[in-house]
Amino acid sequence: MSLEPHIFFDEVNERQGVFHRRTFLLGGFAGLGLLALTGRLAALQLFEGRRYQSLSASNQFNFRLRTPPRGRVLDRNGVEIASNRPDFRLLVLRDEIGDVDATLDKVAELIPITPERRKALKRDIANSPRFVPVAIANDLTWDEFSRINVRTPELPGVTAEMGEARVYPFGGAFAHVIGYVSKINAEDLQKAGPSPEPLLLHPGFRIGKQGVERAFDLQLRGKPGAQKVEVDAVGRVVREDPAGDIKAIAGKDIQLTLDADIQNRALEVFGEESGGCVMMDVRNGDILCLVSSPSFDANSFVKGVSGVEYRALAQYERKPLLDKALSGLYPPGSTFKTMVALAALESGIDPNTRYTCSGAFPFGNHVFKCDKVHGTLEMTGAIATSCDIYFYRTALAVGVDKIADVARRFGLGQTFDIGISGQKPGIVPDQEWKRRYFRKSPANQKWFPGETPSVGIGQGYTVVNPLQLCVMAARLANGRKALHPRLIRSIGGVEQPRGDMVQDLSVDHAHVDFVRRAMAAVTTSGTAAQVADLGLGPIKMAGKTGTAQSHSYKGGRGAYGARGEWALRDHAWFVAFAPYDDPRYALSVLVEHGGFGAQAAAPRAREIMRVALLKDPELRSRIETPLPLPALPENAGAEGAAPPPPTLLPGAPDTPV
Amino acid sequence: MTSSALTRPGQRERLSSKLFEVDWRLALLLCMIAGVGALMLYSIANSSWEPWADKHLIRFGVCLALMLVLSMVDLRVWFLAAYPVYVIGFVLLIAVAVFGHSALGATRWLKLGPMQIQPSELMKIGVVLALARFYHGVSANDARLSWKLLIPAALIGAPVLLVARQPDLGTAILIALTGAVVMFMAGLSSRVLAVGAIGAIAGIPPFILFVLKDYQRNRILSFLNPEADPSGNGYHSLQSKIALGSGGFLGKGYGLGSQSQLNFLPEKQTDFIFATFGEEFGFVGCFGLLVLYAAVIAISLRIASISHSHFGRLSAAGVTATFALYILINAAMVVGLAPVVGVPMPLLSYGGTVMVTVMIGFGLIMAVRVHRYAEITSGRGALL
């Protein structure tokens, strides 16, 4: 009993001692743990702080793609022929909407969605790639747009966006040249490679499908920008950060050489007729007008044409979708006689050679006909009256190879690099061509003499497009340069090479002068004597008509001129340049199955040419020169009685008043 | 001992003397930590008292009062209540296992009328009290190594198994470690400790492979390789590190933590509030907060060591250990040194249950200080 308190006391002391020692240990452990934490915090916050700050920022901020405005297309005077208009649209992001049906239900309360559209939308949303929005409505009115914009906070993943849509102010006038844009399709995406630019997938993006829009798509496209937004953990936008935005770089503007007024007038004068018209500035090769009729409204292609609409366009016999100015091939008919005449002059044939036209010319076992009996003619008269017999015989005298040589020098049978695709080269036949063309049937490879007379009047194998005939007229009018047509004047302000920076036309100026005089005779006394009168005083137009047979008349199917079934009628041509004395503009007009050139083509050419001439300020002053006042008697006495001649030079008359 | 008020008979039992003996420095530190918690909760809620900051402060006020009341309770009452509290806690744990209320895939709660109680929280105090009570009557030799030690092992093991079954791995580990600390403080042989530690470490891989549920295993695997699945299992850990790391030296500024304000950080107001704090106040803020916690631990251990009774020493040390383990486990989880287990930061995190447990614990520590001269002579206690 006496020991117990002692032991008890000892025990207490021992237990207390152990406890105290271990308290220090425990405190030490806790301190170590806290120290380790401090070290870890230092590592995270002090040494790796930068890395985590950037991770935090990438959590916090998202970049939304902003589509760049597509470059505009302008005419030579800066008139917009393809531009952009504001487009209010509604986008959804698959990753941010929870229930597609619920979201569509809510959207449908604000803007109507038809059941079919709803089905298509659900499919589109399900198939959309991650982070790529789907447009569930385009072309909203301001009313609808603001209504949705107010409600978007309740609709996660739905954003109302103000974008831009392509618009063609002139509708169809430039449709073939400019083409159109449309939504990117699977094929285009495939071409873009395995990981396409995000821009291509944006619902606001449109890709050029035809003409300039397609050929210069990359230049017009621009560079996308980005909008910096602060998002929360579920991706909802909390704030916008305008300071962090990356500006979209607009696409480059493309200026064409075309003139909107001439182009519009050209399409207008064609009316319902099918055909094409090309006009060039003969001083520099600029294409002022490149029209194919009938045309189509490119704006409807931007929205996406329905199958019915497209079939209607594709199946119409006058082929609105075909660019006849570049892709349409037609026999040049009598307009080709200018080339035959040049070939004859170059071959040393005297232009005063006379042939007698009796309405028919038997050659071999075939009788070649003329449309009337012209009697005896020399070359100028034969061109003016477009006598076929004269040129059957001239062609035989010159030979097909020489004719083809001259025709090619004047631009026929070839394509020109004008920036857009779609030209067909056509055929300028000669012996070599025939050998190549019939290489599989040796019996046909030989050039038969009986084929040459047809070539003399621009028939037979010969086919050309309206652009080529315009180049021919322009080169005739220029006389010195092998003018090259130019359609693209500048890209993003950078001037493109002009069409007159080319080699000289290898031809005798005297020969060209002769043909030009003959073409002047056509419009003064020849086939186009009345119809080609411009009514612009001193300004006169020189030209050549053509009536090209499109089908054989045999069996009563085809008919000469504008008779019978449309698809079997002759093609009407007119090539011209003006003013005759100082050429500035050349054009070619084709009216497909239009009948006589003088009836269908020449009056249209006259109207189109008038617009170009009246727009030219120098020519305008020449036309509008006030009549000189009668000379004062004393002056007349002092300086002689000769009346002042009509002023031909631009500027004010220098007649003393 | 000089003649002071305390030496006079009965003087120590007076309420005014007892209140004077409460460690007000410790109380002030606790208030500061809770205040920082309220500050952060206000910031996370977009500068609003709703829905967390106001409740946090009200709860802390109530718990502070509870702590002061408990600190007035005579240590002999605590001594007497030790086993009953443990038994009640254990029975409630069994009740949870049999007809507990499930939430979030775990059965941790017991519905008693309008109240929901979580017996595993009660057990944190219960185990400490029971162990302290047990060791109070055990000699130093027996405490070092004897067959008697199977009793404390069972006292720890049984509730740990029940809690782990709920499943609540975090609390189970906390209870087990707290128990181990009390046994250590009581004088457990360091050899046994070493063998136990080695055994525990060796037991981790089979434990992870065969005992853990899938989601628990994934948490641990993602802790080992958080970048493997940054949006899935590794998300918590990664976002927490981003929040802390992006705070840098001085932090992004109060109310400007993008990680928490924009909800990238999950559980930002509870388990990961330390990351939010670190994002807005940076390394300087984190260091300051850890200093506050370290001061609380140091003062608590000092209180434990000046107690005259072994029960007082061990119970105060046990509660301190619980508190320290909370801090270390939570902070290690937040900084990415430990897998994500649901252990909150005491007094900083929003949540009533843990706050009640912790403040009851500090009530016990305060009681140990107030009654540090109390003599608990026999196993039966001297009150009767």
A187 with A282, same domain? no
CA distance B204 to A527: 109
Q: What percent of chain A has pLDDT over 90?
A: 42
Using the 3D structure, point to which of A215, A236, A254 is the last residue of a domain. Answer: A254
Buried b (16+ CB within 10 A) or exposed e, B243-273: bbbbbbeebbeeeebbbbbbbbbebbbbbbb
Q: Where are the beta strands (DSSP E) in A282-327?
A: 287-293
Contact flag B293-A231 (C-beta cutoff 8 Å): no
Residue A556 has pLDDT above 60, yes or no: no
Per-residue model confidence (pLDDT) at position A86: 87
Residue B262 has pLDDT above 90, yes or no: no
Residue A548 has pLDDT above 50, yes or no: yes
A203 with A326, same domain? no
- Which positions 235-294 of B are in contact with A (Cβ < 8 Å)? 239, 241-249, 258-259, 262-264, 278, 282-283, 286-287, 290, 293-294
Q: Report which listed range, A50-59, B165-174, B314-323, is most confident.
A: B314-323
- Which positions 175-214 of B are in contact with A (Cβ < 8 Å)? 181, 184-187
Buried b (16+ CB within 10 A) or exposed e, B125-161: bbbbbbbbbbbbebbbebbbeeeebeebeebbebbbe
A202 with A123, same domain? yes
Q: List the beta bridge partners of residue A333.
A: none
Per-residue model confidence (pLDDT) at position B6: 56
Q: A298-312, pLDDT tens digit by residue? A: 888 887 778 888 888
Residue A630 domain flag: yes
Q: B272-313, pLDDT tens digit by residue? A: 899 999 999 999 999 999 999 999 999 999 999 998 888 999
A311 with A437, same domain? yes
A112 with A169, same domain? yes
The pLDDT of A390-411, averaged and rounded, is 93
The pLDDT of A536-564, averaged and rounded, is 76
Number of structural domains (chain A) is: 3
The domain limits of chain B are 37-72+234-355+365-373, 81-212
- CATH number for the domain spanning A145: value is 3.90.1310.10
Q: Per the structure block, which two tokens stand in for A204? A: 């606001």
CA distance A591 to A19: 115
Contact flag A232-B249 (C-beta cutoff 8 Å): no
Residue A551 domain flag: yes
Q: B109-152, pLDDT tens digit by residue? A: 777 666 677 888 889 999 999 999 999 888 888 888 888 888 99
Neighbour-count burial of A548, counting CB atoms closer than 10 A to its CB (0-12 exposed, 13-18 middle, 19+ buried)? buried
A240 with A281, same domain? no
Residue A515 domain flag: yes
Per-residue model confidence (pLDDT) at position B254: 87
A206 with A278, same domain? no
Q: Mark out the alpha helices in A442-586 (DSSP H runs).
A: 452-456, 466-478, 509-524
User: Is any Cβ of chain A less than 8 angstroms from the Cβ of B333?
Assistant: no
Q: Per the structure block, which two tokens stand in for A315? A: 């199946």
Residue A642 has pLDDT above 70, yes or no: no
Per-residue model confidence (pLDDT) at position B140: 81
Neighbour-count burial of A640, counting CB atoms closer than 10 A to its CB (0-12 exposed, 13-18 middle, 19+ buried)? exposed
- Which positions 293-312 of B are in contact with A (Cβ < 8 Å)? 293-294, 297-298, 301, 304-305, 310
Q: Considering only CB atoms, which chain A residues are within 8 Å of B184?
A: 22, 26
Residue A184 domain flag: yes
- Across the interface, which of B186, B283, B290 has its CB nearest the CB of A34? B290
A402 with A491, same domain? yes
A313 with A438, same domain? yes
- Across the interface, which of B187, B258, B317 has its CB nearest the CB of A26? B317
Per-residue model confidence (pLDDT) at position A126: 79
Using the 3D structure, point to which of A234, A254, A274 is the last residue of a domain. Answer: A254
Minimal C-alpha gap between B72 and chain A (Å): 25
Residue A73 domain flag: yes
Residue type present at position A368: F
Using the 3D structure, point to which of A254, A273, A307 is the last residue of a domain. Answer: A254
Residue A20 domain flag: no
Three-state DSSP class for residue A475:
helix
Contact flag A59-B278 (C-beta cutoff 8 Å): no
A190 with A311, same domain? no
Q: Considering only CB atoms, which chain A residues are within 8 Å of B289?
A: none
By mean pLDDT, which of A139-148, A310-319, A455-464, B301-310 is the weakest?
Answer: A139-148
* Angle at the Cα of A261 from the Cα atoms of A258 and A264, rounded to 5 degrees: 90
Confidence tier at A332 by pLDDT (50, 70, 90): very high
The pLDDT of A382-396, averaged and rounded, is 92
- Across the interface, which of A19, A44, A46 has its CB nearest the CB of B185? A19
Tell me the ipTM for this assembly.
0.89
User: Is any Cβ of chain A less than 8 angstroms from the Cβ of B97?
Assistant: no
CA distance A425 to A442: 24
Q: A79-137, pLDDT tens digit by residue? A: 999 999 888 888 887 766 767 788 888 888 888 888 888 888 888 887 776 667 788 88
Range of the domain at A484: 260-619
> Which of A7, A15, A29 is most worth mutating to test chain B (most B CB atoms within 10 A of its CB)?
A15
- CATH number for the domain spanning A478: value is 3.40.710.10
Q: Per the structure block, which two tokens stand in for B29? A: 């530190």
> Which of B184, B185, B237, B286 is most worth mutating to test chain A (most A CB atoms within 10 A of its CB)?
B185
A324 with A435, same domain? yes
Q: A20-50, pLDDT tens digit by residue? A: 889 999 999 999 999 999 999 999 888 888 8
A649 with A604, same domain? no
Q: List the beta bridge partners of residue A246.
A: A226
Contact flag B259-A56 (C-beta cutoff 8 Å): yes
Residue A398 domain flag: yes
